[in-house]
Structure 1
Amino acid sequence: METELVALASAGAATLVELMISDSWTQVKDGVARFLARDGETGYMTRRLDASREEIAAIGETRDAVEADWRARLYGMLRSDPALAEELRRLLGSPERSGDVHNVVSGGVQYGPVIQSGSISGLIFHDPDRGSRRGKGKPGEG
């Protein structure tokens, strides 16, 4: 049970930090604050989350330290109330609850990557061949 709580706290902290640096932070911040503020003091927790996010934004190297702080906090919460584990799993969107996803790509030749995902943050693709295809017809027409 202890190992499971450590793993869940680690996953929760990693996900929390990833959310902090993503575009979806504004949509999830209130729910995270409510979960973390067990005493109902969501205003304080919201300010604490915002401070963590600002630390990461100001100095990218602090990301590991921020994650470690939240891992310790989550672990402490889970140890004091193991029933919170289920709520944290639900908040994290546990994969065992996800439904099947199907994707169909159509409409001709795809020259770039095709990605299917629940969320993606900070991803940049560079296509070194793109310039050579500009202004040319279909592949093989030279």
Structure 2
Amino acid sequence: MEPELSALAMSAATAMVSAMVGDAWTQASERIAGFFGRRGRDPEAVSAELEESRTELVAAEAAQDTALTEDIESEWRLRLSRALRADPAAAQELRALLAEIAPEPPAAAGSVNVNNTISGGTQNAPVVQGQNFNGLTLNWTPPQPGQT
């Protein structure tokens, strides 16, 4: 799958999981079920799966179970990736859906939106996220073999 479509699936899954605990979930879930319905899935079955994920997510957040939250997001990212792989033209529809369920806030004059994501695995070096670094010094010693 193209990196752009993979990134789109990741962004959409993250937005979906965020929307699941939001006030506008009913409308968002209908749009998401419709998206999958146009790709050959039964919209009612997708709606039921979305509600099941939402119930699990609410319980996971109450229990502060980040692993389950990540699992739910990964599950929907995989489903979205498969839908995009089967129908790359669906990317435009998914972008429009993403804009509806997670609209970008208007940027202040002169500001820049920065979105950084680090996922999966262990980072064995410093990770710096931001913009316009000046005079940055990192005092870091890599772990010796056998250390974590």
Q: Which secondary structure does the structure 1 equivalent of 2:40 belong to?
A: coil
Equivalence for 1:55: 56
Equivalence for 1:9: 9
Tell me, in whole angstroms, the C-alpha distance in 1 between the residues paired with 2:77 and 2:93. Answer: 16
Tell me, in whole angstroms, the C-alpha distance in 2 between the residues paired with 1:2 and 1:101. Answer: 29
Equivalence for 2:77: 71
Equivalence for 2:95: 89
Deviations 1:44-77 (A, max 9, x none): 0000000000111112221110000000110111
Residue 27 of structure 1, CA deviation:
2.1
Shift in alpha-carbon separation, 1:78–1:54, aligned structure 2, 3 A: same
Runs ≥4 residues deviating over 2 A: none
**TM-score after normalising by structure 2:** 0.61
Equivalence for 2:19: 19
Residue 17 of structure 1, CA deviation:
0.3
Tell me, in whole angstroms, the C-alpha distance in 1 between the residues paired with 2:7 and 2:17. Answer: 15
Deviations 1:88-129 (A, max 9, x none): 0011118xx97x789xxxxxxxxxxxxxxxxxxxxxxxxxxx
Tell me, in whole angstroms, the C-alpha distance in 2 between the residues paired with 1:17 and 1:36. Answer: 16
> Percent of counterpart pairs with the same letter?
38
Aligned AA (1:79): R
In structure 2, the gaps of 5 or more residues are 109-148
Aligned AA (1:89): R
Q: CA RMSD in A?
A: 2.4
Tell me, in whole angstroms, the C-alpha distance in 2 between the residues paired with 1:73 and 1:40. Answer: 11
**TM-score after normalising by structure 1:** 0.63
